[in-house]
Structure 1
Amino acid sequence: MNVQEALGGNARGPLSGKVALVAGATRGAGRAMAVELGRAGATVYGTGRTTREKVSEVGRATETIEETAELVTEAGKESGGTGVAAVVDHLVPGQVRDLVARIDEEQGRLDVVVNDLWGGDHLVGFGKKLWEHDLEDGLRILRLGLDGHLITATYTLPLLNRGPGGLFIEVTDGTAEFNERYREPVFYDLAKAAPLRIARALAEETREYGTTALCLTPGWLRSEAMLTHFGVTEENWRDGCAKEPHFAISETPVLIGRAVAALAGDADVARWNGKSLSSGGLAQEYGFTDADGSQPDAWRYLTEVQFAGKPADVTGYR
């Protein structure tokens, strides 16, 4: 039985009894990671700033943190997984501290932390040089992409380190190899390089506690916002290839969700300590697939096809 079959077919779930925190779980990759952890049996605290009463600076009212928690609980019906919505701004240290205290009081443990904080796409001035970019927006990008990650790690790691076997996942855009190239503009480049370095540093600092820290990236994520950008839905997403042919390599958030569930259920996950991993690479390692049964290998495709100037052709890449 492969990992995907195990995640979907165990009555109690391979992560039954485990407690996870997904920071930044309102939509996209964060929501999918929370849902798949719940499907595997975990109790999942998902945090976000958009609720049914208030919309965050991202400006999308169509996805809320309460809905994420409900989706987690629904996915966990057979495995015992449960979703808990927590309204938290991870740039406010006191809110993160209080959340961790709540988890400790309610659960007495924390086994998995997914640091998926972002919400800065609307601030990125693509195509602008440093001196052309709005400075206030740029500094906010760094706050969202760096400060929030460090604040979350500061308060979650003491509880995560309490028992051996904790898993701390930094989420970014791009593998370490791919991000050796410049990811313009400067503020975006820094924000997406930072989680890779944080994971490497924390792998060293938590080693004595038996905690594994790693960095994970999705491929070309077909999130709700990306579908909106291309003017398509998940049902007709391939129509977006008329606007950008390389969109054919895109993947649903399900793929990275299954990647996180597979990592959390891997008794030998410590072999990934400090590493840079991708959803596509882990799909091949653990044997799971995207929602359509494919295994898109986006970062290899982007390097070997799109950035090599070749015509769009996903043959051999999904």
Structure 2
Amino acid sequence: MNTERTIMALPLSGKVCLVTGATRGIGRGIALQLGEAGATVYITGRTLKPKSDGKAGTSGSLTTTAEEIEARGGKCIPVQCDHADDEQVKQLFEQISKEQNGRLDVLVNNAYAAVSLLTEQYGKKFWEVSPNTWDTVNNVGLRCHYIASWYAAKMMVPAKQGLMINVSSPGGLNYLFNVAYGVGKAACDRMAADCAFELKKSNVAFISLWPGAVKTEIFEETILSDKADNFPDGFLDVFQFGESVEYPGKAVACLAQDKNIMKKSGRVLLTAELGEEYGFTDIDGSNPLNFRQIKSLLKMSGHPWLAAMTPGFLKIPFWLWSISASKF
């Protein structure tokens, strides 16, 4: 009986996962949930250990995340890796293949180098900042996703199973932050769709995941700092209805368990929609903001009484949402 309960409590036992950029933020939250579900989780980042004072700070560290995962009973293997360096990425996948006998079940492309830059440059036009902004945003944040997926495919395709996920954003549909950001996120979505097309016959799924407003360490720090003045009225208010970094992690853990995952391959999926489908809530028991739900939008815009009267099933249709960004 105890064995049965253990198996039920660890639905991802035996699975091998890789989460890139997992020292902080969404990557950390995803790694925590995968580890808690029983997977062996490889995590990457540039910072191996906390600062000399023992604190991880908003930059986080691999060892801090690994310790959190193991404290929950999970297994974590931290690998210091700069995803701007193709050789380091090659060595990462060679290590996983060697240690796991060629097995990799889940790849989460989350590494991103431009978080601080986006807050610092918010409100500035593309010609008002360095052209190097493009490389900062889309090297570790788009190109590195392609490279990691290339290596992962060479492990998953022969096994005829696997799941790859690009952590993307509604910025791939409508303007958000800056030009380089939007182009990069739109490319992440298209990359997932096109890779899914080529991987379909190999039974390997590829999905683009859109979290909502996420209360990451750096955004919480921004809200409490002078930098908050750079954002328009109402922008930061969205985060009070946002999700924790572990909510996307719950979504990924559920996707990794989905026996019909190929039906979702090639699609853009919202964390809030997955919460409704799979029946999970955030770590505090709340249901975070759903950008498609009329009820959530009314609540966010300061009309709680009207939101309370609005049925939760009323949503903006996907076709209407996407047509607003149509290029034709």
- TM-score of Structure 1 vs Structure 2, range by shorter chain: 0.7 to 0.9
Question: Could you tell me how far apart the structure 1 residues matched to 2:196 and 2:238 are?
Answer: 35
1:74-113 aligned at under 5 Å gives the runs 74-75=71-72, 77=73, 81-108=74-101, 109-113=103-107
Once the two structures are TM-superposed, the CA of residue 123 in structure 1 deviates from its matched residue by 2.0
User: The residue matched to 1:255 in structure 2 has which SS?
Assistant: helix
> Distance between the aligned counterparts of 2:7 and 2:289, measured in 1?
28
* Contact 1:249 1:298 survives alignment (8 Å): no
SS in 2 for 1:182: coil
- TM-aligned CA deviation for residue 139 of structure 1: 2.5
3-state DSSP of counterpart to 2:127: coil
2:291/2:297 contact within 8 Å kept: no
Q: What's the CA shift string for 1:240-297, capped at 9, x where partnerless?
A: x999443332111121110000000111111111010111010000001101212223
Post-superposition Cα deviations, 1:150-188, rounded to whole Å, max 9, x if no partner, equal: 1111222111222122000111122xxx74322241111
Tell me how far apart the structure 1 counterparts of residues 109 and 83 of structure 2 sit (CA, whole Å).
Answer: 10
* Matching of residue 28 in structure 1 with residue 25 in structure 2: yes
TM-score, normalisation: structure 1: 0.83
The structural deviation recorded for 1:305 is: 3.1
Maintained 8 Å contact 1:50/1:61: no
C-alpha contact (below 8 Å) 2:212/2:242 kept by paired residues? yes
Q: Is residue 207 from structure 1 mapped to residue 204 from structure 2 by the alignment?
A: no
Residue 204 of structure 1 and its aligned partner are, at CA, apart by 0.9
Aligned to 2:164: 168
Kept after mapping to 2: 8 A contact 1:245/1:312: no
Q: Which runs of 5+ in 1 are unaligned?
A: 1-7, 233-240
Query: For residues 304 and 35 of structure 1, do their structure 2 counterparts lie closer, same or farther at Cα, with a shift above 3 Å needed?
Result: closer
CA distance 1:24–1:297, change in 2 (3 Å): same
Kindly provide the amino acid, as one letter, of the partner of residue 302 in structure 2. P
- In structure 2, what is the equivalent of residue 196 of structure 1? 189
Counterpart secondary structure, 1:259:
helix
Distance 1:217 1:90 in 2: 21
TM-score if structure 2 supplies the norm length?
0.81
- Counterpart CA distance in 1 for 2:48 and 2:249 is 22
Q: Distance in 2 between matches of 1:148 and 1:98?
A: 14
* Equivalent position to 2:113, from 116, 119, 128: 119
Match of 2:214 among 205, 208, 221: 221
Q: Percent identity?
A: 34
Deviations 1:4-33 (A, max 9, x none): xxxx97466111111000011111111111
Contact 2:50/2:61 (8 A) holds in 1: no
Q: Is the 8 A contact 1:195 1:215 kept in 2?
A: yes
Provide the residue aligned with 2:262 in structure 1.
Answer: 270
Root mean square deviation, CA, Å = 2.9
Query: Equivalents in 1 of 2:66, 2:294: separation in Å?
Result: 33
Asked whether 1:130 is paired with 2:126, we answer yes
Q: 2:292 aligns with which of 293, 300, 306?
A: 300
User: For this pair of structures, how many residues does the alignment match?
Assistant: 292
Say which SS state the counterpart of residue 298 (structure 1) adopts: coil
Matched residue of 2:212: which SS? coil
- Amino acid of the residue matched to residue 185 of structure 1? N
Question: In 1, are the aligned partners of 2:247 and 2:283 still within 8 Å (CA)?
Answer: yes
SS in 1 for 2:209: strand
1:45 matched to which residue of 2?
Answer: 42
Give the aligned residue type for 2:247.
Answer: L
Q: Give the deviation of 1:133 after TM superposition.
A: 2.1
In the alignment, which residue of structure 1 is the partner of 2:302? 311
- Alpha-carbon contact 1:145-1:194 (below 8 Å) kept: no
Higher Cα Rg: structure 1 or 2? 2
Query: What does residue 237 of structure 1 align with?
Result: none
Paired residue type of 2:201: E
Cα drift, residue 122 of structure 1: 1.9
Unaligned stretches of 5+ residues in structure 2: 226-232, 314-328
Asked whether the 8 Å contact 2:126–2:179 carries over to 1, the reply is yes
Matches within 5 A, 1:34-73: 34-52=31-49, 63-73=60-70
